[in-house]
Amino acid sequence: MADSYQKKEREKKKRKKRKEKQERKEQKKFEDKSQIEFMYVDENGQFSTTPPDKPKKEVKLEDIEIGVPKHEDDGKSKYEREGKVKFFNAEKGYGFIIEKDTQESYFVHANDLEEEIDAEDKVAFEIGSGPKGPIAINVQLQKA
């Protein structure tokens, strides 16, 4: 008889726990709904909790460009960038070029050279994409 009493008590506790869990679940649903706020974004990309004062601008479907705009050839030389070789290790086959205008440094590999270069040489080059960022490609010595 003691087993049946303990069994009933365990069942009561289980039912009580299920009921409490269900109540917590319902309470959580209610709390989540009460905390929802709307965020608005203005034309400059700023977030606010109040709707914008200005009416929405109409955008034509044709005006939306998806992807990267096509590059138009403006007739400039193939080698638009000029720079100076900061360092080049011919044995290992790599180095760095500093662009003349921006002073930005670009990695260069021996496979991307059109002629041999050395440190302090003035060069013309293009920018390509490498595994770790932009690199100098089609590097050519500039005639003085």
Asked if residue 76 has pLDDT above 50, the reply is no
- Look at 67 and 103; give whichever has higher pLDDT: 103
The beta strand positions in the chain, using DSSP E, are 40-41, 47-48, 81-89, 94-99, 105-109, 122-130, 133-141
**DSSP three-state, residue 29:** helix
CA distances from 127 to 24, 62, 98, 106, 112 (A): 60, 32, 12, 8, 11
Domains of the chain as residue ranges with CATH: 81-141 (2.40.50.140)
- Would you tell me how many other CB atoms lie within 10 Å of the CB of residue 16? 10
pLDDT band, residue 15 (cuts 50/70/90): very high
Give the model confidence (pLDDT) of 81-112 as tens digits: 899 999 999 899 999 999 988 899 999 999 98
Would you tell me how many other CB atoms lie within 10 Å of the CB of residue 141? Answer: 16
> Residue 4, SS3?
helix
The string of pLDDT tens digits covering residues 41-66 is 777 778 887 777 767 678 888 888 78
